[in-house]
Structure 1
Amino acid sequence: MLSIKGISEYAEAIYDPTPYAQDAVAMAQQAFNQPTYGVGGVLLDNNTGAILYQMHNNVITENAINDPTAHGERQIIYWYLKHAAALPEPSKLTIVTTLDPCVMCTGAFLATGINVVTMSYDANAGINWNQKWNFQSLPANLREQAQQQFSYFAVPELQLNWQGPKRSVFYEKAISGQLSQAAAAAFADSLPKIGPIFASEDPTPLNIRTLGPDSPQKRLLSQKWPLAAIYTTNISTVSGRAKLWALMSAIGLGNSAALIDPFDNLLMVMAGGPFIINTPLFNLIRAYTDVRRATQSPGGASATDGHVPHPKRCKIVLFRGPGTQATDIMDLGIYGSSLNSPNQSGGGLFYFKATQSPESLASMIQELPPLYPTELEITAQQLPPITRPDVTAKTDDNMFIQSRL
């Protein structure tokens, strides 16, 4: 949790929200026309009111899944992190967004400290889905911080009151019902347009081990992770878990993420970095989506190749399970964003090392906005322990990896 001590109780200035809201809606409408999720936002300097950057959702580009993490707010935050040395500190910045942030973007806001003001609510996936501004969907240790960073415009025509701290640069400001409704409509109206795109990119899985070593699929995967599709790791067996533990513990500082296809082929393992929001899962999902996009037939007519199946058909394993910090919340949101619909048989989110009890993690997931526990049916399962003090993990190629647990 970021400390909120030392942050001024009052805003540097109070601005007229209309120009910023109009620009954010323009971004959302660009996203709608793309088409992708109709959400957009602008980043402003609290001290000057200047707009520093603006962006819309880019989950889908050119009628294909581009990056499940490319929500407008997340992209703006990433832009800030890349240019932070030349910009004000995060607490001096605000993003005006057309839609209440999802769980992934909420985690990114809390991890970085950037403020956010929202134009419309999202009763399904928004972090303030119940419109009570109590952030019960977050672990208790993050709720006070969320109340210092998250604000919601008043919309008198819709009987919506201001929600937010005095330190917001839009404290107690209202936007028109027309702007709020335009923001909500850009998102709602985009859903029927993009649904068929997601459906077209879930081919029947095929075993990548039936392909030759020089196949485009293996070549693309190996560019992301050199050992792609070399190992099989059946995590229902001790030897499979030991092999995976050895590989994952050798990558990253304390955490890593792995993706295993429906045929137990280990396709990718990723570490985190370079920025705070670059969790191992963040990097994994983006890298794997790059590969899936590259295997599409020209024009997307045959969608993605089944040898690199949809993540919802795969097992995703974290070395360290989700805790209660901002990046842990972000990871649960990333996982949800990668699914689009519930896991298929054999898929799921798993982890080795627990950072909270299985019961408290299950409860935390159930408290997330309805999309995640109800529609996507997200769960996280700890893998059984590996009891031997020393593990030798043998691959199909007679390679060995030694790892002390």
Structure 2
Amino acid sequence: MSSSSDLSSGGSDSDEEFGPPVATQSLPTLQIQSLRIRDHVMVTLDFEKENYGLWRRQFLDALAKFGLTHHVDGSPAQATSDWVLADFAILSWYNATVTPSTLEIVADRKDKAYTLWRSLRSLFRSNRDARITYLLDEFHGFIQGELSVVDYTSKLKQMADTLRDLGHRVKDRDLVHNVLRGLDDRFQHAVPHMTSGRLPTFIKLRAFLQLEEQRLARQARVAARSALLAQAHAFYAARPPAPAPSFHMAAPGVQPAGAGPSAGSPGSRGRKKRKHNSSSGAGSSSGGGVPALGHHGAGSRPPAPTTVAGTFQGILGARPPAPATHHALQATSSPAPSPQWDQAALIAALHQMSVQPPSTLGGDWVFDSGASSHMSSGAGSSHQDGASPM
């Protein structure tokens, strides 16, 4: 077996940290060979992801759990079969927890658990001084921006762990100061509060900023809802009030004021009928517009007497119908026109009736109810002999 003095890929182990001492008594060889390392090391080491620090911690914890740390800490090799079998079991754990592309860079056919451990450490810590310089510049210049509190603090913690893996340990106090320095303007009010007394740890600071982020998000939602309600109130207040609807009763056949009667309206038909009666009466009567009544013969009946109501109906037209029910109410923006009467024609008709002479025929006219076949000018029987027609 080769000792640590024979390794050329390693270097000084003074900066290597293996944690507290562990028991030297390891598990039996058969149990070590039957272990499933993926149940204990969850991270797969990848050169592209630079996750060496996390993988290293989990791998060392598994070695300490099973009493195998002396295989990678530089302890002298033991010339026993159990030690050799345990060392080959650790080599198989490398194959299960490191990507093949990373192993191709450092693997060798004569590798042991210690030599491969040192090769991987050298690969991820090569040019560490230059890497520390660049990473420190990024670490101290990193700001939150649009990141959430969880993403921002996790990124800073990851850079601090990488610096520690490179040999530059970042204290928790320095990490807290750097988190406060790069906070967004939304959280600047928390800086005096967190630094007024004893400086909190990184874990406490992260929890406080998470609660503050939730409070600010709730405050923004309440402000947005209040602004929306105020905008809606201003919109409805600026609108002019709607005009109140006016209702009127529109009777069928009534036209607005100023509109002449149509050809088919009741008023026009009444005036045409009145003119026709006047012209026909002028040729049959010498006294005026009312035709003269003469004695009737047998089987004839006199015309219906002319009444004032009939004359008014001929002048003014048909009587308007009854007012419409509430279903016929119509909402308009202007008042309903009132019906227009022909006042001049009414006065002329009354004047004509007042100057017309009464009938010159003597006696009272009696309408036959059907008991006789004719009308008589006297109140008694029409037979001279007084005998019943029966």
TM bucket normalised to smaller: under 0.3
TM-score for both structures, normalised by structure 1:
0.20
Of structures 1 and 2, the one scoring higher in RCO (CA 8 A, sep 6+) is: 1
- More helix as a share of residues: 2
TM-score, normalization by structure 2: 0.21
